[in-house]
Amino acid sequence: MNKWIQFSAEVAEAAAQQRPIVALESTIISHGMPYPVNVETALEVEQIIRDEGAVPATIAILDGKIHVGLAEEELQLLARTDDVLKVSRRDLPYALATGKPGATTVAATMICANLAGISVFVTGGIGGVHRGAEHTMDISADLLELSKTDVAVVCAGAKSILDIGFTLEYLETHGVPVIGYQTNEFPAFYSRHSGFEANYKLDTPEQVAVFLQTKWNLGLKGGAVIGNPVPEKDELPRQQIDTVINQALEAAEKQGVHGKAVTPFLLDRVKELTLGESLTTNIALVRSNAHVGAQIAMALNSGTV
């Protein structure tokens, strides 16, 4: 496996000392946010995790290797280069075999984190079942990955560019637990409320750690979704975002956008239509998830659960 994995010095040292490590994805850097906010946010989120007492491991594919922990120049490259591949499960062998730079999605980051022995992963939002999936079959590989790879994903829920109800049904079918962190509701990324319930409300990092440990001790494969709602002060009004999302969905349909281009297209459109307001919210929720994810990793690592 070492043939494929390149640890940064910081992450290698943390692993040797059995310190808590938190994985971070790179699609959010290359395809989710514009330059230079993408790299600034990536660096800031890493620092939040360090300040909480854990070690950040941003994951990407570079020079035919899975990089676990990135240097600032590597983050810069992922943030500025136009043709970085968006790498999900199916794309991993292609990116590794060709040596092309690749940014990992939630699914691919889970796979790489698992290979590297990391069980907590922080991101913004997960992919899901797209609206109209009954016609297009557009369901993110993130969801199936959650059913088979033992990594907990801390996120702010799923965006309403997706069909949140279908997404939750799909996760239920595949046995993926959806936890509301200090909330009964599954959050809707830009807003704290989706109108859909999470499976369980857990209130502390320790409670989440005990839950995860129990699942994995039982040999129940797969991860869990930990939905941490965006802080109230950074939330976007539901109606405003719904209008914008509908406009973005119409544009995608008109332009015939399909396949893996759909999610980045919609995100970009939403950002333009809210004049950057959605980006501010996106940054705020990732920061908040970094605090929670680091605390969960610490609790899991404490030896008391």
Backbone dihedral angles phi then psi of residue 74, each to the nearest 5 degrees: -70, -40
Among 67, 89, 131, 159, binds ligand PSU (CB under 6 A): 159
The DSSP string of 41-96 is HHHHHHHHHHHTT-EEEEEEEETTEEEES--HHHHHHHHH-TT-EEE-GGGHHHHH
* Residue 227 binds to ligand PSU (criterion: CB under 6 A): no
DSSP state of 29: I
Span interacting with ligand PSU, options 114-122, 140-148, 229-237, 248-256, rule CB under 6 A:
140-148
Q: How far is the CB of 301 from ligand PSU (least distance, A)?
A: 25
Which partner in Mn ion, ligand PSU, none is near 106 (CB below 5 to 8 A by kind)? Answer: ligand PSU
Site for Mn ion in 8-37 (CB under 5 A): none
Among 102, 124, 157, 187, binds ligand PSU (CB under 6 A): 124
Residue among 46, 74, 159, 185 flagged as catalytic: 159
109: enclosing H helix or E strand? helix 106-115
CB 208, CB 296: distance < 8 Å: yes
Site for ligand PSU in 187-226 (CB under 6 A): 189
- In the block, tokens 């996760």 appear at 171
Nearer to Mn ion among residue 192 and residue 269 (C-beta):
269
Nearer to ligand PSU among residue 74 and residue 142 (C-beta):
142
The encoded tokens of residue 293 equal 């994810």
Among 57, 112, 141, 168, binds ligand PSU (CB under 6 A): 141
Residue among 25, 46, 52, 74 flagged as catalytic: 25
Q: How far is the CB of 140 from Mn ion (least distance, A)?
A: 5
SS3 content of the chain, % helix, strand, coil (to 5): 50, 15, 35
Question: How far is it, in rounded angstroms, from Cα 59 to Cα 70?
Answer: 7
Site for ligand PSU in 56-95 (CB under 6 A): 88
* Residue 138 binds to Mn ion (criterion: CB under 5 A): yes
Does 52 participate in catalysis according to the annotation? no
* Residue 145 binds to Mn ion (criterion: CB under 5 A): no
Does 260 participate in catalysis according to the annotation? no
**What own/partner pairs with CB < 8 Å and gap ≥ 24 does 266-271 have?**
266/159, 266/161, 267/31, 267/32, 267/159, 267/161, 270/159, 270/161, 270/241, 270/244, 270/245, 271/34
Backbone dihedral angles phi then psi of residue 109, each to the nearest 5 degrees: -65, -40
Among 7, 25, 45, 170, binds ligand PSU (CB under 6 A): 25
Which partner in ligand PSU, Mn ion, none is near 7 (CB below 5 to 8 A by kind)? Answer: none
The encoded tokens of residue 240 equal 């405003």
CB 194, CB 161: distance < 8 Å: no
Active-site positions? 25, 159
Residues that bind ligand PSU (CB under 6 A): 25, 27-28, 32, 88, 105-106, 124-125, 127, 140-142, 159, 189, 260, 263, 267
Residues that bind Mn ion (CB under 5 A): 138
